[in-house]
A and B are shown apart, each in its own frame.
Chain A
Amino acid sequence: MTRKGRRLVLIAVAGVVLASAVGLILNALNDTIVFFRAPTEIAEKPPQPGTRVRLGGLVKAGSVHRDGKTVTFVVTDGKSGVPVSYAGLLPDLFREGQGVVTEGSIQADGHLAADSVLAKHDETYMPKEVVDALKAQGRWKEGEQ
Chain B
Amino acid sequence: MIAECGHYALVLALALALVQGVVPFIGARRNDAALMGVGEGTATGQLVFIGAAFAALSWAYVVSDFSVLNVIQNSHSSKPLIYKLTGVWGNHEGSMLLWVLILAVFGAAVAVFGRNLPPVLKADVLAVQGWIGAAFLIFILFASNPFVRVAPAPFEGQDLNPLLQDPGLAVHPPLLYLGYVGFSIAFAFAVAALIEGRIDAAWARWVRPWTLGAWIFLTLGIAMGSYWAYYELGWGGFWFWDPVENASLMPWLAGTALLHSALVMEKREALKVWTVLLAILTFSFSLLGTFLVRSGVLTSVHAFAVDPLRGSFILVILALFVGGSLTLYAARASSLRQGGLFAPISREGALVLNNLLLTTAAATVFVGTLYPLALEALTGGKISVGAPFFNATFGPLAMALLIAVPFGPLLAWKRGDLFWAAQRLWFAAGAALLGGAGTWLYERGGPALAPLGFALGLFVLVGAFAELVERTRLFRIPLGDSLRRARGLPRAQWGSAFAHAGLGITLMGIVAATSWSAEQIEALKPGGTIAVAGKELTLDSIGPRHAENYVDLAARFTIREGGTVVGHVESAKRTFAARQMTTTEAGLVSFGPSQLYVSLGDVQDDGSIAVRVQWKSWVLLIWGGALFMAFGGVLSLADRRLRVGAPKRARNAIPVPAE
Contact = CB atoms under 8 A, between A and B. Distances in A.
Interface stretch (A19-27, A42-50, A75-83, A106-114): A19-27
A24 B522 contact: no
Contacts of B297: 128
A89 B581 CA distance: 17
Contact of B583 (A9, A32, A92): A92
A122 B343 CA distance: 55
Nearest to A23: B393
Given A18-B360, A89-B521, A90-B601, A6 B393 contact: no
A128 B292 CA distance: 14
A90 B368 CA distance: 27
A32 B235 CA distance: 22
Chain A binding surface SS class: mixed
Contact of A10 (B352, B382, B523): B352
A28 B393 contact: yes
A13 interface: yes
A38 B101 CA distance: 43
Contacts of A14: 356
Contact of A122 (B235, B305, B357): B305
A92 B388 contact: no
Contacts of A121: 161, 163, 233, 301
A1 B371 contact: no
B584 interface: yes
A29 B521 contact: no
Contact of B344 (A9, A89, A127): A9
Contact of A125 (B304, B353, B364, B371): B304
B523 A68 contact: yes
A101 B299 CA distance: 10
B344 A10 contact: yes
Nearest to B356: A17
Contact of B386 (A17, A32, A145): A32
Contacts, number: 127
Nearest to B360: A21
Interface string B74-90: 00000000000000000
Contact of B384 (A9, A54, A93, A145): A54
Contacts of A124: 305
- Chain A interface residue number, banded: 35 or more
Contacts of B363: 21
Interface string B399-418: 00000000000000000000
A121 B299 CA distance: 11
Interface in A56-113: 66, 68-69, 87-93, 101, 103
Interface string B517-560: 00001110000000000000000000000000000000000000
B197 interface: no
Contacts of B11: none
B152 interface: no
B165 interface: no
Given A69-B521, A89-B601, A125-B304, A34 B352 contact: no
A129 B389 contact: no
Contacts of B584: 89, 92
B154 to A, nearest CB: 16
A141 interface: no
A27 B388 CA distance: 11
Contacts of A88: 521, 612
A129 B382 CA distance: 8
Given A1-B343, A122-B305, A123-B581, A31 B521 contact: no
A92 B581 contact: yes
B579 interface: yes
B383 interface: yes
Contacts of B163: 121-122
Contact of B382 (A1, A122, A125, A132): A132
B12 interface: no
Nearest to A88: B521
A47 to B, nearest CB: 14
A132 B305 CA distance: 15
* Residue of A13, A21, A31 with most partner-chain B CB within 10 A: A21
B602 A66 contact: yes
A33 B341 contact: no
Nearest to B380: A132
Contacts of A6: 341-344
A29 B368 CA distance: 9
A140 interface: no
Given A28-B389, A36-B383, A128 B299 contact: yes
A35 B385 CA distance: 9
A87 B601 CA distance: 12
B610 interface: yes
A3 B337 CA distance: 14
A114 to B, nearest CB: 13
6 contacts: A21-B360, A21-B393, A24-B396, A35-B381, A36-B383, A132-B382
Interface of B: 161, 163, 233-235, 296-299, 301, 303-305, 341-344, 352-353, 356-357, 360, 363-364, 367-368, 371, 381-386, 388-389, 392-393, 396-397, 521-523, 573, 579, 581-584, 599-602, 604-605, 610, 612
Given A28-B388, A91-B235, 16 more contacts: A10-B352, A17-B356, A17-B397, A21-B397, A24-B392, A25-B364, A28-B389, A33-B371, A33-B383, A35-B381, A36-B383, A54-B382, A66-B602, A69-B522, A89-B584, A92-B583
